[in-house]
Structure 1
Amino acid sequence: MHNQYSTLLPLDDLAGFTFARKPVSVPADLRLHWRIAETLLVLRLCSFKSSSSVMKLQLFNWALRNQEVRARVIAAMSGAKPSFGGSVLHLDPAVNRAVDFSLATGLTGIGSPGKIKLLEKGRDLADRVLEDDTLLSAEKAFLTEIGKKISEAKLSSTINALF
């Protein structure tokens, strides 16, 4: 193994070196399955006609990750002037991946322009998650509390007020 790099890299010393794949712990909120379930729950519990913009999915994702944002969403829903304390809407690429995966697997489809629609397969999965008290209990409680009280129009006016 003598070439131009042999003086820079001691490759001969690595002859007995091996790699072993070991499981890596991934936080639950970063797991794709978790994000898909969350997306399906938002569509099932908080969206008119089980259809939502990706922006609304992003807002709920942000609220589910952040207690302060969650409180502000609840306040805005109750009629308070929307305020996110100088924060900008957090757009999470994992939400887009979850949407892409749910589209590819037939859990969701494309509804009216710019909307993601919950399909029967996704509705069945969301209902199974809702029935199991051990799954996503805090998320289900928040989403149930909000329900369908935040329309796309209200979301748009809230975002426009922020920017």
Structure 2
Amino acid sequence: MTEARTLRGLLRGGFTVSARPQPLPGDLRLGWGVALLILVLGASRGQRASIQKIHFLAHLARVKATREQTRAVLKRTIGPQALSVRVEPWVNRAMAFAIAEGVAVMRDGKAAVLTDAGRAVYRDLVAMPILDEEKTFLAEVGPRATEKVIEQIMKMEQF
């Protein structure tokens, strides 16, 4: 709970975090979604990524099995058809909130980029003991998952 409060303070959002008897769906976990979005952008070349790359990495970073499959595809030990990538509505919502908060901007309607404030939040997130598996995955995969490679994977082509 302390980490959630810290994250809320970093994002300066006017929302509250309350304990729930059941986990909330990902698209309703605003702090988690924005944090993961910032980590995806931070792990991308130039801290910039296309919407397709953001959806690709954000979806595949969520679950251990898809993280392992992604690693194997990028190492070329299995083919790209092994991945099932979704366009997640929560990513778009997280992007809208990140832009409204000033931690990211859209460039030419094609790519999101971290702002100076976003880079500061990214550094803070990296230092915090949260989303460790996702951070490890993105640090390993982010630089290798170029826009061209992702395009080929999405078309189920060898790269």
- The answer to whether the superposition gives a TM-score over 0.5 is yes
Indicate the RMSD between aligned Cα atoms, in angstroms: 2.0
2:53 pairs with 1:36: no
2:108 pairs with 1:145: no
CA distance in 2, matches of 1:131, 1:66: 22
CA distance in 1, matches of 2:33, 2:47: 17
The answer for the alignment partner of 2:14 in structure 1 is: none
CA distance in 2, matches of 1:48, 1:145: 12
Aligned residues: 136
The answer for the alignment partner of 1:101 in structure 2 is: 97
Listed as ranges, the gaps of 5+ residues in structure 1 are 1-22
The answer for the alignment partner of 2:116 in structure 1 is: 120
Rg (Cα) greater in structure: 1
TM-score by length of 1: 0.75
Q: Name the structure where helix makes up a greater proportion of residues.
A: 2
CA distance in 2, matches of 1:140, 1:68: 15
Q: CA deviation at 1:153?
A: 0.7
2:156 pairs with 1:161: yes
**1:73-127 deviation line (CA, Å, top 9, x unaligned):** 1012113431226x4x222111100001111111101125510111111110010
Equivalent of 1:59, from 56, 60, 67? 56
Listed as ranges, the gaps of 5+ residues in structure 2 are 1-17
Q: CA deviation at 1:66?
A: 2.7
Q: Confirm or deny: 8 A CA contact 2:39 2:122 kept in the other structure.
A: yes
Q: Confirm or deny: 8 A CA contact 2:62 2:134 kept in the other structure.
A: no
**1:126-161 deviation line (CA, Å, top 9, x unaligned):** 1001011x2111111111221311100110011012
